[in-house]
Chain A
């Protein structure tokens, strides 16, 4: 069964303290892996798409990487405004619908 698991469920960091969020997946064939950010009371907002192992993408303090089994979202020197829930989703070869992880809630304390 296709599955996406995110860890940790929640992460509290001090401002400036770098860390990584994990998204592991077991799917029959990967078409693409997506990262989204979701603020409280709002819809998810697109961050990155990764298509193949070894690919990396960056945006401001965020960097997403992909291996054959998992993806990491690295956050460097985070600021309080980076606080949000980060969602990972996978699109498989068998259909074009996304399989979503439950998310990691990131809290950055000033």
Chain B
């Protein structure tokens, strides 16, 4: 199993550009989440999904969209990038509500 994979590993955007961060898992997990990690702060939840077709907002959803058309994929879309969205983004998945969460390797995003 590849586990949780994320692409790209690194991306530079200009303010106002849009892009999609890709996340895929091959463990047939129902629960998937997107986090951002900033220096000196804990991981903050952006959006999450409890199954295909079901998504909800986390702690910091503004400026981001998600969709979940399949169990495997959970892309994160930045609609109009802002410098405040410079961060490291992690995708995670888990089989159930109180199960171990598995993380991808992260995408480092720089918005100029």
Give the interface of A toward B (CB within 8 A).
4, 31-32, 34, 41-46, 49, 87, 89, 91, 96-103
Contact = CB atoms under 8 A, between A and B. Distances in A.
B3 to A, nearest CB: 9
Classify the secondary structure of B's interface with A: loop
Contact of A44 (B44, B97, B103): B103
A102 B38 CA distance: 9
Contact of B101 (A41, A46, A102): A46
Contacts of B33: 97
Interface of B: 4, 33, 40-45, 48, 58, 90, 92, 97-98, 100-106
Closest 9 CB pairs of A and B: A100-B42, A43-B103, A100-B43, A96-B97, A46-B100, A44-B103, A102-B42, A43-B105, A101-B42
Nearest to A91: B98
B51 to A, nearest CB: 13
A19 B78 CA distance: 42
B98 A31 contact: yes
